[in-house]
Amino acid sequence: MTDALTIDRWLSDTEGENLEFKKASTHFGLDELTEYCVALANERGGRIILKCNYEDLESLSTEQWLALEAFSHEREMSGCSWESLDRLRELRLIERVSGDRYILPRLYYEFLDRESTYERLREKEVKKELLETFLSAYRVDGAPISEVHSVLPDEDPRTIRRMLIELQDERRIHASGEKRWTRYFPGSSEG
């Protein structure tokens, strides 16, 4: 894992075959960076250190920082404006999973060696959206758990129940009744 001491050591080294220093302006080209990475990979690997000016850095609002903090802990962010979320998407700091659901981008999880977490979050959101879409046809009578299970037949019933609880906590669906008579409806119970 890369720590502050390692980065300091790299910064004190001189540029060479396995170390490149590049000044990153606000629009450092991804294609250009990719070419450098491929060149280093073809030459026994190496590191590219990007330096940026503080003036070039994007400032974020408190609302945007709070949203990023919530997403980094895999929590839902409530109260963040659409404009703030759109700006975070433009900066590629978050990505839309489905509907109005967001997570941190794949690069964040790759940097932390947690790609499997990223894939799990994406897959889980897709499954929750399938359940939510299925329930939209049951606005009047609701759907019993047996019918809900048919949406994801290969999924463990306990996992489906956990997803249903999460959807209720997120006010995307609501339930009525108890135990085996429980029926699931789209939307929150207040709406």
Please report the domains of the chain, with CATH numbers, ordered by start residue: 4-56 (no CATH), 62-111 (no CATH), 115-186 (1.10.10.10)
Residue 187 · residue 173 · CB < 8 Å: yes
Tokens 């019918």 appear where?
A: 147
Contact criterion met (CB below 8 Å) for 167 and 132: yes
Total residues found in the chain within this entry: 191
**What is the model's pLDDT at position 28?**
56
What are the residues whose beta carbons fall under 8 Å from the beta carbon of 11, sequence distance 6 or more? 49
pLDDT of 37: 67
Q: Where is average pLDDT lowest: 44-58, 93-107, 148-162?
A: 44-58
Q: What is the pTM of this model?
A: 0.60
CA 145/CA 160 separation, integer angstroms: 9
Categorize the per-residue pLDDT at 169 as very low, low, confident or very high, splitting at 50, 70 and 90: confident
User: Which residue type sits at 27?
Assistant: H
Q: Express as a percent the part of the chain with pLDDT over 70.
A: 74
Does the pLDDT at position 162 exceed 90? yes
